[in-house]
Structures are given as C-alpha cells and as structure tokens.
C-alpha cells in the first residue's frame, strides 16, 4: 500500500465500494463520510494506512440481511433523499451521531450534520428523518 493513498481512494477504487462518494476531496462537503471505529470521518482526509486494524463501516454495511437500517427507512419515507449523492455520507454521519446521542434535539441534529453538505433538500427533511429514526431506534427493535 502506497502511504499517500487515502481511505476513500482504497474504498472506491480497490474495494470497488462505490456507495462512498467523492464531492470535493478536501474534507469540506462530507459526501465521503464513513464510520471509523465508531466515529464519522471524511475518508478523503484519512490515509488508508491510518485505518489499519480499525473497524470501517461504509454505507454498504449498514443494512442487515436485506433489512434497511431505520435511518435508511426514514430517509426514504420522509423525503430526505433527492439526488442521493450526499445520502450515504449523511446517513453514516447520522448513524454515528445517534449511537452517541440517542435522544437528540433538533438543534443537536443540525450541529451533528453541519459538516455534510446537501444542495437539494435544504436539510429540512433530512433533519426530520434523523429525528424520526432516533425515535425508531429508541424502541430497541433494531439490532445492527
């Protein structure tokens, strides 16, 4: 592994997991977010070697046995998806956030996703979807 290669590059081009998107390559848009040992990171800013021995969750690993994660369900139901390009990163940021804070306020959610840009939705329905998913998750029926 060349030391200069990013985690994003390896995920997309070696593993061919193209659910992780690239929007800027400079860590400003959050489109490439993956979860690294429980924390959301911009995979374009993480060197692949830094991920050695760590747990990496990409969007492809979120649904379990063809059952969508509650965030995936609520993003679809609430109209939080338009072009879909920011969606994988947005959902993973929200997942890492809800794992830490299962009972957030609207303001908490806004802060949590402030590093993820979306140009289509104006964020309104994304925030609604995350709050709705939090409710679902609190019921404890999801075992991911």
Partner 1 sequence: MDRYSVVGKSLPRIDGILKATGSAKYTIDVELPGMLYGKILRSPYAHAKILKIDTSKAEELPGVKAVVTGNDTKGIRFAFVDTPRYPADGRPLVEDKVRYVTEGVAAVAAVSEDVAEEALSLIEVKYEELPAVFDPEEAMKPGAPKIHEEIAPTGRSFWEEWGVPRSAEVQKVENNICSTASISFGDVEKGFEESDYVREDKFKTNVTDHCAMEPHGVVASFDPTGKLDIWLGHMGFAMKQYWLSRTLGIPASKVRVHRIHIGGAFGGKINLFDYEFLAAFLSRKTGRPVKIVLTREEVFASTRVRHPQVIYLKTGVKKDGTLSAVHTKVIDDTGAYRGTGPVVCYLDHAFSLPIYKTPNLKYEAYAVYTNNTIRAPMRGHGAPQIRFAVESQLDMIAEELGLDPVEVRLKNVRKKGDVLPNGDRLNSCGLTECIQKATKESNFRKKRGKKAGNRGIGMAVSAMFSGAQFYPFGTAAAVRVNEDGTATVFTGAVEFGQGSDTALAQIAAEELGMTLEDVEIISGDSELCPIDIGNWLSGGIHVSGKAVQLAAADAKRQLLEVAAEILGAKVENLQAGNRRIYVKGNHRKGIPISNAIKMSILKRNGKQITGVGHCKAHEPDVNWYPSLTTGRGRFTSAYSFSAVVAEVEVDPETGRMKLLNVVTAHDCGFPINPLLVEGQAEGQGVMGQGQALFEELITSESGEIVNPTFLDYRVPRSFDIPKFKTIHIETDDPRGPFGGKEVGEGVIGAVPAAIANAVYDAVGIRVKELPITSEKIIRVKVDNCK
The answer to whether residue 57 forms part of the interface with partner 1 (CB under 8 A) is no
Residue 71: which of 92, 101, 41 has the closest Cα?
92
Q: Smallest gap, in angstroms, from Cβ of residue 53 to partner 1?
A: 24
Q: Counting contacts by CB under 8 A, is residue 137 touching partner 1? A: no
* Residues 20, 30 contacting (CB under 8 angstroms): no
Judged by CB under 8 A, the stretch of 45-53, 97-105, 107-115, 134-142 that binds partner 1 is 107-115
Binding residue for partner 1, selected from 67, 102, 124, 144, defined by CB under 8 A:
124
> How far is residue 43's CA from residue 30's CA, in Å, rounded to a whole number?
9
Q: Which stretch binds partner 1 (CB under 8 A): 20-28, 45-53, 97-105, 133-141?
A: 20-28
- Among 38, 122, 135, 138, which residue sits at the site for partner 1 (rule: CB under 8 A)? 122
Phi, psi (5° rounding) for residue 92?
-70, -40
Does 97 interact with partner 1 (rule: CB under 8 A)?
Answer: no
Count of CB atoms situated within 10 Å of the CB of 134: 21
Cβ–Cβ < 8 Å for 92, 35: yes
């Amino acid at each position: 592994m060349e030391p200069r290669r990013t985690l994003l590059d390896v995920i997309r081009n070696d593993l061919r997991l193209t659910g992780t998107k690239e929007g800027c390559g400079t860590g400003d848009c959050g489109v490439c977010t993956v979860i690294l040992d429980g924390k959301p990171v911009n995979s374009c800013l993480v060197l692949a070697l830094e991920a050695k021995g760590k747990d990496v969750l990409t969007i492809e690993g979120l649904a379990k046995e063809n059952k969508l994660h509650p965030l995936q369900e609520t993003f679809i139901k609430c109209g939080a998806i338009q072009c879909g390009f920011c969606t994988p990163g947005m959902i993973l940021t929200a997942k890492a956030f809800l794992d830490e804070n299962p009972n957030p306020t609207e303001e908490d959610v806004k802060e949590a996703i402030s590093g993820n840009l979306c140009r289509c939705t104006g964020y309104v329905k994304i925030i609604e979807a995350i709050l709705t998913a939090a409710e679902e998750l609190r019921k404890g029926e999801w075992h991911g």
